[in-house]
Amino acid sequence: MKKPIAWVMDTTGFVTEEFKAHPDVYIVPLNIHFGTEEFIDDGVDLTNDELYRRIKESTEFPKTSQPAAGKFAELYDRLKEEYECAIAVHASAKLSGTIASSTAGAEMSEFKVYAIDSLALSYGLSGLIERGLKLQEQGVEAEEIAQHLEKETANFRNYILIGNLTQLYKGGRMSGAQYYIGSLLQIKPIVQLTSDGELQPIDKVRSHKKAIQYLINHAKKDYDEHGVRRFQIMHGHVVKEAENLKQVLLQEMPEAEILIGDLSSSLAVHAGEGTLAFQWRREVS
């Protein structure tokens, strides 16, 4: 007898230890390229320490690429022997072609896959997997779970403090003039994944201290006014700063549950060392 649901995610999400150990969760890694060298974003082929060292030393800016449709087809060929269907949750289609590869792979394999555009990255993606697994435990059918997760994407809230303007500039996401002015004035850009999955700048703050307070103020508002109690801090190789932020937040929000995690390598390539991403979910009223 086949199991009901296989869960599939890519490495733009936050890959928890629980996901790694879960027998029904399958993780498909993106690829990272330094010139002609290619690495798999699995935390083993290229560790975060090695990634940041290479970024600092390399004359070529690293790039990422989504898994090929054939890779997904190979996975789905295996899964259809064991499962009735799969629910695949992927990075925002506005930022990555991974969901398109996943959908094409499912068609090649002729396997039923409910592909969910998370409209997010990092924990915004992983949180949907967690929610889906809980619904499955409650006996909800796959199609209904998929429909619920698609609606759940509207609840995602996020504020991202970019840590390295040089990396944004080298990656072609900031003009030379913006980079020069930003560096000169020590501007801290804050960006956000919008409700339709696009990455947009929403504010510029003139000091790191003010930028941190900006993140705290938005979290405290939803904590006080909407009863949010679970928050996630994702960081780019600055765990001590993430821990310090957590302690400040707990002084402001003593009942909060705050998770800290690394940005995956495939996100760190673009966001830069020192980035802090603050995320949570709030029910849409």
What's the CATH code of the domain at 119?
3.40.50.10170
Compute CA distances 40 → 82, 92, 163, whole Å. Answer: 26, 20, 24
Domain match, 34 and 65 both: yes
How many whole angstroms separate alpha carbon 225 and alpha carbon 219? 10
Q: How confident is the model at residue 183 (pLDDT cuts 50, 70, 90)?
A: very low
Q: Which residues contact 122 (CB under 8 A, 6 or more apart)?
A: 12, 13, 14, 232, 234, 261, 263, 264, 267, 277, 279
Model confidence, pTM: 0.90
Domain match, 129 and 172 both: no
The domain in which residue 35 lies consists of: 3-154
Q: Which of 154, 177, 210 is the last residue of a domain?
A: 154
Q: Which of 124, 154, 184 is the last residue of a domain?
A: 154
Residue 179 has pLDDT above 60, yes or no: no
Domain match, 225 and 171 both: yes
Q: What is the mean pLDDT of the chain?
A: 88
Domain match, 124 and 169 both: no
Q: Which of 106, 130, 154 is the last residue of a domain?
A: 154
Domain match, 140 and 62 both: yes
Looking only at the bridges linking them, the beta strands covering 199-205 and 230-235 are unpaired
Residue 176 has pLDDT above 50, yes or no: no
Q: What confidence tens digit (pLDDT) does each residue in 7-38 have? A: 999 999 999 999 999 999 999 999 998 888 89
Q: How confident is the model at residue 167 (pLDDT cuts 50, 70, 90)?
A: low
Calculate what percentage of the chain has a pLDDT beyond 70. Answer: 91
Domain match, 7 and 116 both: yes
Q: How confident is the model at residue 137 (pLDDT cuts 50, 70, 90)?
A: very high
Domain count, the chain: 2
Residues of the chain by 3-state class (helix, strand, coil), percent to 5:
45, 25, 30
